[in-house]
């Protein structure tokens, strides 16, 4: 069963049956974005952020909330660093606003495939479907950095923050996109480097080559 929360997130009427939703999804999936997959950039640029994001599942959110509670209890984050006031406030707000009804138990695999594997948002081409952006080439699946790429980057950068030179433990490793996702950067090995938490946050969305 497709949760009404998911239907609403992708801009469909919550009253549509699952069969009707999947029929629409399959029609949308006939399109793929040519610049994104063949030319390696997004023609929609920052406009991508105006398109919907799929919600986290209830299970994922409960697991994340469990982590937030543990951070608040120990006053530390996963890397062992002290929990600063800004993050403590954000964690408390996130937990206080949590409503199980806002999260689906699962997301149909065919709907998950609509999400851009770079930005995470539902690809605009599914809504706009302009001929100049379409290609028959199959879209890459999954929006996360593949494990194999992570391992190659860790070995290449020798567990060292590429910004400040700090040697990193396993739980301190962060993966930074040198050309940010928000500016069209790809999730490919040549665009990823290791950083520590502080350097990754200080960089924000600046481009560093």
Q: For 3-42, how does the pLDDT look when each residue is reduced to its tens digit (9 = 90+)?
A: 898 888 888 888 899 999 888 888 776 655 655 655 566 6
pLDDT tens digit string along 149-167? 888 898 899 889 999 999 9
Q: How many CB atoms lie within 10 A of CB 186?
A: 18
Q: For the chain, give the mean pLDDT.
A: 79
Q: How high is the pLDDT of residue 121?
A: 80
Question: CB under 8 Å to 148, separation ≥6 — which residues?
Answer: none
Structure confidence by residue, pLDDT tens digits, 172-192: 888 888 877 666 667 778 888
pLDDT on residue 88: 92
95 pLDDT more than 90: yes
| All domains of the chain in start order, with CATH | 144-209 (1.10.30.50)
């Amino acid at each position: 069963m497709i949760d009404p929360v998911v239907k609403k997130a992708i801009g469909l009427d919550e009253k549509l049956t699952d069969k009707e939703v999947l029929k629409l999804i399959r029609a949308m999936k006939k399109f793929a974005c040519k610049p994104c997959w063949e030319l390696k950039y997004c023609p929609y640029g920052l406009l991508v952020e105006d398109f919907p994001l799929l919600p986290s599942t209830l299970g994922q959110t409960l697991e994340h909330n469990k982590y937030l509670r543990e951070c608040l209890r120990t006053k530390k984050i996963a890397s062992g660093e002290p929990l600063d006031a800004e993050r403590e406030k954000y964690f408390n707000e996130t937990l206080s606003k949590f409503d199980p009804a806002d999260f689906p138990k699962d997301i149909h695999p065919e709907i998950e495939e609509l999400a851009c594997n770079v930005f995470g948002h539902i690809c605009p081409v599914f809504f706009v479907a302009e001929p100049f952006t379409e290609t028959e080439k199959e879209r890459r699946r999954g929006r996360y950095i593949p494990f194999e790429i992570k391992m190659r980057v860790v070995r290449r950068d020798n567990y060292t923050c590429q910004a400040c030179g700090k040697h990193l433990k396993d739980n301190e490793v962060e993966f930074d996109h040198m050309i940010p996702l928000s500016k069209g950067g790809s999730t490919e090995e040549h665009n990823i480097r290791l950083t520590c938490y502080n350097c990754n946050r200080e960089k924000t969305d600046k481009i560093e080559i």
